[in-house]
Structure 1
């Protein structure tokens, strides 16, 4: 493993990304030439307010610039391999409040760009073939194509280079500090929002000012809600906490989930479910290498879930019949994982949300996973009444579920364990170091090191 801090001392490889995007475009149309044109996100004001809305750079623009400045533009001349970044000029009124903006000289030294001009100079752009992204053109530029560039960037983003992996490593390292701090504080916390604040503080203090997504801090039965957003309920009387949270470092995400006992000791039922999910994650992660079929790995996760729930008596009957009936979807309704990068649910997964097979409908990645991709492995087992009760009312499904034993598990809520995995030619590398061993987690919760 290369030292990611040493790698990050260099520039974000924007030119290499531009060349890769052009190569993809030419694989679709060998005559591609002219100029790539991209616009950064505009400064937006909060509605009915004189304050600016939180800024989030457009990922397409960032991929070819590494630039997080708002109101900027990029042109990349395919023939000459020349990239030009256009940044806002000095606005005297703005300087009074915000200070001097980045200069062209500073931008040239900071970004992997050949030339830096100011945005008014974009009017001089002329080319017979301009490739842009639909609904992201605000100037007088007239693109010849508004589809191919977007497709090319989305597909190229699947393959992470060394610099991008280093960014994800750093996001994971900082997020692990935050996850660990939550473990240290959970036993004495009063409610979910306290723990969300703990996570945010550690991320911001260590360099992840932005979050990759809104944290899920779900206690007790709330953990059965996959994207729980309340984060405000009291912890008293609850068995477990599911923490799904990740910081964002320079536009790259971590996405980590851990489930642990609030008291520092798992209940019998909670530990049983945790061990099943941990095995699901272990086996499925070990199946990863370049070319592995993600659909098959997801299917394996369901087979393991069925075996585990049969062993506990929650499910009953023949394993193959249960698999064919898709009864396990009641307990594991989401996909095994997704690509990770600049977006938490990153591009290029080719999901099919119209799939009539309930086991694969929410699978965000379909097909073979390539070397260089970063993917999450996040199996889970949940006890959500809203999802499970329709199965209990369906005779074709209820015959496989033992309601008497199921009743012992509702308070477990849900267990999910999620790591961020770099796929290699021969296997994988786990970029996530947050503790998930039960003894280690409980030791931290109970005041150990």
Structure 2
């Protein structure tokens, strides 16, 4: 059986990606003898400082090269399928401070490309008589001023960006292995936080522990800014403070994920600070876990994500009716959209090189608030990776307008609701690979109540 480690011993499949993108361009009537041109992210300096900003490679460039070096360029001849990477030449002054950079020989060995040249030869290559001078495909605002396309008969600044975004949706086995590895590292970090949560004093203690656990396992970069939200702060979807004391609060919502070789994990767990959920917290957690499990069970290639999201709302309504927070007829509540007060975001999003990965075709102008923030619309293809992250939140800013709205207030029992404000919010998030026959959950992080409570209490 091939393991994740076995897959990652190979090279990032840059040429397969380039061929796939070129094929998409051809399918849209593009020039089959054209040239793809991409630039990596430049080294950027901190304003009024001689230090560089933290570097993050452009994802479009990485997808076709697997190269995380700054200040690079790339061309792909669609006719000959030849890929060329241009890397910075040796700068003696820079070597004195930072050591020797990667050489062309090392780059050719490390990356799935055909040729490596210094960046000083980009324009010479673009104007060379050996290079087809038909159509150049590039991304707008990602072409340096000194680059010339004058020798090309046509220039297309539209198709390449959308082609890469669409091709990125279906992952290769190598990309899946990277996401699986990022999930394994993040799982270790989430578990470390669970073990420490009952003795920590502040949200920042737990964020620091999560980062330490990732870094010591080889993942220095994070896929996104972690959400470490205690108590009612968990009702803020993208909470950023991560600096508040834990004393006197019920639960911790931890939404955090490591990044491995430009590929993300995105995991959320909610667990009790004391090692045991309160009655109200346990009841809400049960609803959210049921939402997630039922939605994951629906997944397979061709399923309509809008329908899965709608099912999450139906499960949420049934659960909140059982708790007495909602009252009335479930179908009437669904039709009114009252459940959006407690579950205001979309069920999930594509995952890959970006946490909110490309290709989802969201419609943020949708007049229906139940679907407005759904980041993926339409059917899911085999090979895509999507997050499933239902939640129930008790945010006064969101819920109180519903209590004043005649359309919704009759469906909410304010007396029962009063017991749940301190729960804050519960979200559970896993990363799911879609297959032809179903799905593969890439996230092994504990989420059953008895598992998490045993870890927190030091019994597992």
Aligned to 1:43: 43
- Please name the residue that 2:227 is paired with: 216
Deviation at 1:48, TM superposition (A): 1.2
Q: How does 1:432-447 map to 2 (within 5 A)?
A: 432-447=443-458
Task: Decide which moves more: 288-297 or 142-151.
Answer: 142-151
- 1:6 aligns to 2:6 (yes or no): yes
Instruction: Decide which of 129, 139, 145 is 1:133's aligned counterpart.
Output: 139
Deviation per CA, 1:297-318: give whole Å up to 9, x if none.
0000000000000011000011
How many residues get paired? Answer: 449
The match for 2:201 is 190
Query: Are 2:295 and 1:284 aligned?
Result: yes
Structure 1 residue 168 and structure 2 residue 175: aligned?
no
Misfit runs of 4+, over 2 Å: 30-33, 139-143
CA offset digits 1:93-148 (Å, max 9, x no partner) = 10110000000000000000100000010011132311000000003233700110
C-alpha distance in 2 between matches for 1:59 and 1:182:
30
The residue aligned with 1:17 is 17
Matched position secondary structure for 1:420: strand
Query: TM-score by structure 1 length?
Result: 0.99
Distance in 2, Cα, partners of 1:4 & 1:156: 22
Query: Using the alignment, how far apart are the partners of 1:63 and 1:213 within structure 2?
Result: 19
TM-superposed deviation, 1:191: 0.4
Query: Which residue is equivalent to 2:308?
Result: 297
**Aligned-residue CA RMSD (Å):** 0.8
Maintained 8 Å contact 2:33/2:134: no
Query: C-alpha offsets along residues 199-254 of structure 1, whole Å, 9 cap, x if unaligned?
Result: 00000000111000000000000000000000000000000000000000000000
Distance in 1, matches of 2:279 and 2:330, equals 24
Distance (whole Å) between structure 2 residues aligned to residue 337 and residue 2 of structure 1: 29
Contact 2:182 2:260 in 1 (8 A): yes
Partner of 1:202: 213
- DSSP 3-state at the match of 2:65: coil
Distance (whole Å) between structure 1 residues aligned to residue 8 and residue 397 of structure 2 = 46
Kindly report which structure 2 residues correspond to 1:12-411, keeping only aligned pairs within 5 A, or say none. 12-124=12-124, 125-126=126-127, 127-138=133-144, 139-142=146-149, 144-411=155-422
Q: What is the CA-CA distance between 1:166 and the residue it aligns to?
A: 0.3
Q: Find the aligned partners of 2:330 and 2:374 in 1 and give their Cα distance.
A: 22
Give per-residue Cα distances to partners, 1:166-208, cap 9 Å, x unaligned. Answer: 0001000000000000000000000000000000000000011
Cα offset, 1:30, TM superposition: 4.8
| Equivalent in the alignment of 2:130 | none
Equivalents in 2 of 1:141, 1:177: separation in Å? Answer: 48
Offset of residue 34 of structure 1: 1.6
Q: Work out the CA distance in 2 between the residues paired with 1:390 and 1:222.
A: 19
Name the CA shift for 1:285/1:42 in 2 (closer, same or farther; >3 Å).
Answer: same
Deviation per residue, 1:355-400 (Å, 9 max, x gap): 0000000000000000000000000000000000000111211000
Q: Distance in 1 between matches of 2:147 and 2:315?
A: 57
Give the Å deviation of 1:15. Answer: 0.2
Residue pair 2:87, 2:118 contacting (<8 A) in 1 also? yes
Shift of 1:2: 3.4
Mapping 1:420-431, distance limit 5 Å: 420-431=431-442
Structure 1 unaligned blocks of 5 or more: none
Shift of 1:31: 3.5
Asked if 1 retains the 8 angstrom alpha-carbon contact of 2:31 and 2:135, the reply is no
Deviation at residue 32 of structure 1 after TM alignment: 3.5
Hey, what's the Cα distance between the residues in 1 that align with 2:300 and 2:2?
20
Q: TM-score, normalised by structure 2?
A: 0.97
